[in-house]
Homo-oligomer: A and B are copies of this chain.
Amino acid sequence: MTQNFEQWCSELQTQLSRNQQRLTPQRRLIASVLFEQDGHVNVDELHQLVRGKDSSVGYATVYRTLKLLQSLELVHTNTFVDGTARYEVATDDDDHHDHMICRDCGTITEFENAEIERLQDAVAERLGFELVDHRMVLYGRCIKVACPNKQSN
């Protein structure tokens, strides 16, 4: 996480005004909550959190804002185990990361691996493609008896 909220948000601001769109209080709030969350929240969780600060914000606005942020490439989305899309702030393009998920407790751990990314490029090239993006998710179990990340749910 190499940026702070203000930097990221002013980028948002810029992008929006470029298209005659507005940085409304709701959008700013949703963005800030998502940013400080810094995890992989789904719409429902995000909506709960946002409502904690402004109970008038509607579900649809959260959806629409996320879709907006996504189209501006300011957030990334991933659909992991359950069917729900999960969102996370997109930082600098370079530090792309992937995810490792514990089959026992569902905890999502991030990691980066430049070597794998190199090989992905090589694979794509061999297949005659220019690699644009990728998604990689590893599923596993903690080696320890009790998963150290075990959560209540």
Chain B proximity mask over A57-76: 1 for CB below 8 Å, otherwise 0: 00000000000000000000
CB-based contact A120/B138 at 8 Å? yes
Q: How far is the CB of A142 from chain B (nearest CB, A)?
A: 6
CB-based contact B142/A124 at 8 Å? no
Q: Which of B113, B140, B148 contacts A130 (CB 8 A)?
A: B140
How far is it, in angstroms, between the C-alpha of A139 and the C-alpha of B123 when the chains are bound? 11
Contacts of A135 in B (CB 8 A): 135-137, 139
- A150 at interface, CB cutoff 8 A: no
Contacts of A115 in B (CB 8 A): 119
With contacts A113-B123, A116-B120, A123-B113 taken as known, whether A132 is within 8 angstroms of B139 at the C-beta atoms is yes
Number of copies of this protein chain within its complex: 2
CB-based contact A129/B134 at 8 Å? no
CB-based contact A136/B139 at 8 Å? no
Among A109-153, those with CB < 8 Å from B are 109, 111, 113, 115-116, 119-120, 123-124, 127-144, 148
- A43 at interface, CB cutoff 8 A: no
Chain A residues proximal to chain B, CB less than 8 Å: 79, 100, 102-103, 109, 111, 113, 115-116, 119-120, 123-124, 127-144, 148
